[in-house]
A and B are shown apart, each in its own frame.
Chain A
Amino acid sequence: MDNTDKNLNIDDEFLKKLIQENVSKEDAPKDFTKKTMDLVMQEWIANPIETKTKSHGIKYWIILISLLSVAGFAYIATDARKLITMSDIEWLKSFDKEYLIYLHSAFNSITESFLQISPIVYIVLAGIVAITITDKLLKKSHYLTSLFMV
């Protein structure tokens, strides 16, 4: 540190001491919070902060409808078909012979093709899904922790 730097540091400390000892901090008036809240409330009435509810995107609905459709087809082609074949209602039986039998065989062939896929593919897929879910949960818990940390 050269002499100039030394002088500057002394100057700095000297001034800091003078200011802290001699400049008094001014407090807000007693009714400040009330008056300011009145103004803020006026703003709030004119322009409220609205909570934006997270609306589900089209992607969400496509996935939901697809999953429900698959579940519906699976039910019709398996459990529902069994119930229909066991029932005595004629029109249901003919409906089964004309349509459901094809749906059933199609569903079976899809199931068989899935079974032919190597188990490692399922394991990798399950891993990816688990990592994605864990990541989302961790992010959410980190955000909540930062909110409630005092």
Chain B
Amino acid sequence: MDKDLFYIYQIKQGDITVFSQLIDKYKDMVFNLAFQITKNREDAEEVSQDAFVKVYNSLHNFKGTSKFSTWLYSIVYNTAISKMRKKHIDTVDIDSKSYSIEDNQETGLLLKQKEQKEYINYALSKLNPDDRAIVILYYLESKNINEIAEVTSMTANNIKIKLFRARKLMHSKLKTLLSNEISTIL
């Protein structure tokens, strides 16, 4: 609480230049979420700009009942998801498959010896954009379940289920990648 409310108050009073303070403050956060969903810098830039313009146009609807950042995240999320829905990308819907729980300690040890970054990003890219956004918000941005539910307009239970399935899918993808590597070496 809350410089954001002060900025919004000033913008509503007609001082549009203050909007640049909000952009400066949140641009990296917005861009990163957009990038993690779209996996493309150009798309992420377009989504981020659209999101800020939408924020400006809907500023009169913001009553301050939730955090500005959560409200902003929900706009970015929806803008990015609708952009991605227009594109057809090869992803896996985590709701459509079931995965078994494997020993993750073993995978972890192997991963340390491999190109972790590449594999993790590959596994993430195989999630569909909605699920990837939830995973990123939860694991990278450290948002809690209720905040993610607010951002995505899903129920908290739905988020928990999606996170559970995403974990299983990523684990399975990582395991497959490592098995291929090992068989190539052998």
- Within the complex, the shortest CB–CB distance from A38 to chain B, in Å, comes to 9
Residue among A11, A15, A20, A51 with the highest chain B CB neighbour number at 10 A: A15
Tell me the complex Cα distance, A35–B45, Å: 10
Tell me the complex Cα distance, A10–B108, Å: 11
CB of A1 within 8 Å of the partner chain: no
Tell me the complex Cα distance, A64–B16, Å: 36
Say which size band chain A's interface belongs to: 35 or more
- Interface size (B, Cβ < 8 Å)? 51
Which residues in B have some Cβ–Cβ distance to A below 8 Å?
A: 1-3, 5-6, 9, 11-14, 16, 19-20, 23-24, 27-28, 30-32, 35-36, 41, 44-45, 48-49, 52-53, 56-57, 59-60, 101, 104-105, 108, 111, 116-117, 120-121, 124, 135-136, 139-140, 164, 167, 170-171
**Residues of chain A within 8 A of B121, CB atoms compared:** 22-23
Q: How many A-B residue pairs have CB under 8 A?
A: 125
B6 nearest CB neighbor, chain A only: A147
- Within the complex, the shortest CB–CB distance from B174 to chain A, in Å, comes to 8
Q: Show 16 A/B contacts (Cβ-Cβ < 8 Å), sorted by A.
A: A7-B101, A8-B164, A8-B167, A11-B171, A12-B167, A14-B104, A15-B171, A18-B108, A18-B116, A26-B35, A26-B41, A27-B31, A40-B52, A48-B14, A146-B5, A149-B1
**Residues of chain B within 8 A of A150, CB atoms compared:** 3
Tell me the complex Cα distance, A18–B48, Å: 26
- Within the complex, the shortest CB–CB distance from A9 to chain B, in Å, comes to 11
Which residues in A have some Cβ–Cβ distance to B below 8 Å?
A: 7-8, 10-12, 14-16, 18-29, 32-33, 35-37, 39-41, 43-44, 47-51, 146-150
Residue among B24, B32, B56, B111 with the highest chain A CB neighbour number at 10 A: B56
Flag if B140 contacts A20 (CB, 8 Å): yes
B171 nearest CB neighbor, chain A only: A11
- Say which residue of A11, A49, A147 sits within 8 Å of B101 (CB atoms): A11
Tell me the complex Cα distance, A32–B34, Å: 14
- Within the complex, the shortest CB–CB distance from A53 to chain B, in Å, comes to 11
Flag if B23 contacts A22 (CB, 8 Å): no
B35 nearest CB neighbor, chain A only: A26
Flag if B139 contacts A43 (CB, 8 Å): no
Tell me the complex Cα distance, A47–B20, Å: 17
- Say which residue of B30, B53, B135 sits within 8 Å of A28 (CB atoms): B30
Q: Which 4 A-B pairs give the minimum distances between C-beta atoms?
A: A28-B31, A28-B27, A22-B120, A26-B35
Flag if B116 contacts A21 (CB, 8 Å): yes
Flag if B53 contacts A43 (CB, 8 Å): yes
**Residues of chain A within 8 A of B11, CB atoms compared:** 49
Tell me the complex Cα distance, A150–B3, Å: 6
Tell me the complex Cα distance, A51–B59, Å: 12
Flag if B9 contacts A15 (CB, 8 Å): no
B28 nearest CB neighbor, chain A only: A27
A25-B171 contact, Cβ under 8 Å, with A36-B49, A49-B59, A146-B2: no
Flag if B31 contacts A26 (CB, 8 Å): yes
Tell me the complex Cα distance, A35–B46, Å: 11
Flag if B41 contacts A19 (CB, 8 Å): no
